[in-house]
């Protein structure tokens, strides 16, 4: 060490350091040279940081950051797919392969769920028990298919690597439990897998072979799946158990003949209907492919909406231009999967209140989307009374327009009273599984 700390001075963090006692001329010259060099390095670091900051600011000027919020199954990821389809159709199309496996998993889980409900004991009480019993037996390989697909889709996700089908399969509360796959990890690697399939890697080939096996078994079971789903006795058994699958996420049983066929290629509609629970947060950067300013980027943050996931939202609050909040209006007669004592519409009200109250979001643009309007319409038309679940509602309990108006009033009122400062609120009613919503106009608001 060329300079010594002065005995009388004990602040090594001060800069430049205090000249040591009894310093020779040579030592002094060396010290000054070192200090000069250190200052040059420090200035250059400061300069780099400043440049980075300026670059970031310039980038940010061309970046609009949008955070998608809402409870689980409110349609956040589906809305994001809609944005991709609208603004980056090429990127969207490139993911078709991966979505096929997800759709196959959705279908397989539905069939296995039906088989769980129609247990051997239950079948004994139904007419046509011989047919159902043999269908049950012939469809048993689908347990293996489910396990294979889960393992393949979560292949790169260490937290799911030991997932067993028995763990994922038991059905609760009239619906199959879900397989959640950490977004942006395992299942998307299927894309790379397909693209690299000629790379000669044995692992990749094995993985692809397994997916092909799953698809072949599913295809071999195709006619039996169609027969099971069309069987009036099976339908009666499901009805007795209070199970209604049609309005549940990832429902493909009505299209089983097409989806399970060997040459199935998912349509846009299929991909929008596919269900994959988001765990954690995913960042999606998009630019408008066909027209517009190529430097302009949209950054979407899609987060998991289940209760256990919500603490992870806060870090994104500080840095976003807009919140896209989704409330699934059709969920008025449902409860949270994670807490069956809580009505889903009530949970959305409370969540909205929390978001409005947040000071970090005081000057953020809010776009409120009332989603799943198609299912709301179907439920009310099928005679499910809104006022049976929402006691404060006093109008016609089956009138779609009035129910929508009531929900909107509630949200607007919460926004007005919970927000710390005035903020414009944009509201729309949507059906996220139909492409072509007025996405551009929302983005103009951000």
Ligand X SMILES: Nc1nc2c(ncn2[C@@H]2O[C@H](COP(=O)(O)OP(=O)(O)OP(=O)(O)O)[C@@H](O)[C@H]2O)c(=O)[nH]1
Contact call for residues 442 and 436 (beta carbons, < 8 A): no
DSSP 70-90: -STTSSHHHHHHHHHHHH-HH
Closer to ligand X by Cβ: residue 126 or 320: 320
At 400, phi and psi to the nearest 5? -55, -50
How many Å apart are CA 71 and CA 326, to the nearest integer?
A: 8
Instruction: Tell whether 373 is in a known binding site.
Output: yes
DSSP 219-243: HHTHHHHHHHHH-HHHHHHHHHTT-
Q: Which of 139, 157, 304, 380 binds ligand X (CB under 6 A)?
A: 304
Contact call for residues 396 and 381 (beta carbons, < 8 A): no
In 3-state terms the chain splits into helix, strand, coil percentages (rounded to 5) of: 55, 10, 35
Contact call for residues 272 and 433 (beta carbons, < 8 A): yes
Question: Residue 275 touches which of ligand X, Mg ion, none (CB < 5 to 8 A by kind)?
Answer: ligand X
Restricting to residues 44-83, which ones interact with Mg ion according to CB under 5 A?
76-77
Closer to ligand X by Cβ: residue 74 or 364: 74
Closest contact distance (angstroms) between CB of 76 and Mg ion is 5
Total of residues contacting ligand X (CB under 6 A): 25
Closer to ligand X by Cβ: residue 273 or 410: 273
Binding part of the chain for ligand X, among 2-10, 107-115, 122-130, 370-378 by CB under 6 A, reads 370-378
Q: Which of 169, 245, 256, 432 binds ligand X (CB under 6 A)?
A: 432
End-to-end CA distance of the chain: 57
Question: Residue 266 touches which of ligand X, Mg ion, none (CB < 5 to 8 A by kind)?
Answer: none
Instruction: Tell whether 270 is in a known binding site.
Output: no
Tell me the two tokens of residue 437: 């919503």
How many Å apart are CA 316 and CA 304, to the nearest integer?
A: 13
Query: Chain centroid to CA 370: how far?
Result: 17
Q: Which of 3, 64, 67, 73 binds ligand X (CB under 6 A)?
A: 73
Closer to ligand X by Cβ: residue 103 or 118: 103
Binding part of the chain for ligand X, among 44-52, 54-62, 109-117, 272-280 by CB under 6 A, reads 272-280
Binding part of the chain for ligand X, among 56-64, 65-73, 121-129, 396-404 by CB under 6 A, reads 65-73
Binding mask of the shown chain, residues 196 to 225, with x at each position contacting ligand X by CB under 6 A? ------------------------------
Q: Name the residue with tokens 């347990």.
A: 143
Bridge partners, residue 182, by sequence: none
Binding part of the chain for ligand X, among 93-101, 343-351, 381-389, 429-437 by CB under 6 A, reads 429-437
Closest contact distance (angstroms) between CB of 374 and Mg ion is 19
| Site for ligand X contains 431 (CB under 6 A) | yes
Q: Which of 3, 17, 64, 76 binds ligand X (CB under 6 A)?
A: 76
Closer to ligand X by Cβ: residue 135 or 326: 326
How many Å apart are CA 414 and CA 412, to the nearest integer?
A: 6
Say whether 61 sits in a helix, a strand or coil.
Answer: helix
Say whether 260 sits in a helix, a strand or coil.
Answer: coil
CA distances from 216 to 48, 67, 95, 262, 419 (A): 57, 39, 21, 7, 55
Restricting to residues 277-296, which ones interact with Mg ion according to CB under 5 A?
278
Closest contact distance (angstroms) between CB of 54 and Mg ion is 35
Restricting to residues 233-252, which ones interact with ligand X according to CB under 6 A?
249-250
Closer to Mg ion by Cβ: residue 232 or 312: 312
Instruction: Tell whether 408 is in a known binding site.
Output: no
Contact call for residues 431 and 371 (beta carbons, < 8 A): yes
- Residues constituting the chain: 446
CA distances from 401 to 113, 280, 377, 404, 407 (A): 35, 35, 9, 5, 10
Whether residue 16 has a cis bond before it, omega within 30° of 0: yes
Say whether 107 sits in a helix, a strand or coil.
Answer: helix
At 392, phi and psi to the nearest 5? -75, -5
Tell me the two tokens of residue 78: 């589906």
Closer to Mg ion by Cβ: residue 190 or 281: 281
Q: Which of 165, 181, 221, 375 binds ligand X (CB under 6 A)?
A: 375
Binding part of the chain for ligand X, among 146-154, 273-281, 335-343, 412-420 by CB under 6 A, reads 273-281
Closest contact distance (angstroms) between CB of 330 and ligand X is 7
Binding mask of the shown chain, residues 274 to 303, with x at each position contacting ligand X by CB under 6 A? -x-xx-------------------------
Q: Which residues contribute to the site for ligand X (CB under 6 A)?
A: 70, 72-78, 249-250, 272-273, 275, 277-278, 304-306, 371-372, 374-375, 431-433
Write out the residues near Mg ion by the rule CB under 5 A. 76-77, 278
Residues at the annotated binding site for GTP?
Answer: 272-278, 371-374, 432
């Amino acid at each position: 060490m060329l300079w010594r700390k002065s005995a009388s001075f004990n602040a090594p963090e001060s800069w430049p350091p205090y000249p040591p006692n009894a310093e020779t001329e040579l030592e002094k010259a060396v010290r000054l040279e070192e200090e000069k060099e250190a200052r040059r390095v420090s200035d250059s670091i400061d300069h780099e940081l400043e440049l980075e900051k300026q670059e970031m600011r310039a980038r940010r000027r061309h970046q609009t950051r949008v955070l998608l919020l809402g409870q689980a199954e409110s349609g956040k990821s589906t809305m994001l797919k809609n944005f991709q389809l609208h603004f980056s159709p090429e990127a969207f199309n490139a993911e078709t392969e991966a979505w096929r496996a997800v759709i196959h998993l959705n279908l397989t889980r539905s069939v296995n769920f039906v088989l769980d409900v129609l247990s051997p004991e239950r079948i004994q009480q139904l007419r046509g028990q011989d047919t159902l019993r043999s269908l049950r037996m012939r469809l048993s390989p689908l347990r293996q298919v489910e396990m294979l697909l889960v393992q393949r889709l979560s292949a790169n996700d260490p937290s799911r690597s030991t997932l067993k089908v028995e763990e994922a399969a038991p059905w609760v509360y009239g619906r199959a439990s879900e397989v959640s796959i950490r977004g942006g990890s395992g299942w998307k690697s299927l894309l790379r897998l397909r693209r690299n399939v000629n790379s000669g890697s044995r692992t990749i080939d094995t993985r692809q072979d397994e997916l092909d096996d799953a698809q072949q078994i599913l295809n071999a079971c195709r006619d039996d799946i169609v027969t099971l789903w069309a069987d009036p006795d099976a339908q009666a058994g499901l009805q007795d158990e209070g199970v209604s699958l049609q309005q549940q996420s990832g429902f493909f049983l009505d299209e089983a003949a097409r989806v399970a066929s060997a040459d199935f290629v998912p349509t846009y509609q299929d991909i929008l209907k596919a269900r994959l629970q988001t765990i954690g947060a995913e960042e999606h950067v998009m630019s408008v492919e066909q027209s517009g300013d190529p430097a302009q980027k949209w950054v979407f943050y899609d987060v998991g909406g289940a209760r256990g996931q919500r603490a992870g939202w806060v870090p994104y609050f500080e840095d976003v231009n807009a919140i896209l909040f989704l409330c699934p209006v059709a969920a008025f007669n449902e409860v949270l999967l994670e807490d069956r004592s809580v009505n889903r519409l009530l949970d959305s009200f409370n969540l909205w209140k929390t978001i409005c109250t947040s000071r970090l979001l005081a000057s953020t643009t809010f776009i409120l989307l009332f989603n799943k309007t198609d299912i709301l319409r179907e439920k009310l038309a099928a005679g499910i009374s809104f006022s049976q679940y929402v006691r404060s509602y006093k109008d016609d309990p089956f009138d779609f327009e009035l129910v929508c108006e009531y929900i909107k009033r509630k949200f607007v009122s919460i926004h007005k009273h919970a927000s710390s400062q005035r903020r414009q609120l944009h509201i729309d009613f949507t059906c996220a599984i139909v492409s072509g919503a007025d996405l551009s106009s929302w983005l103009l608001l951000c």
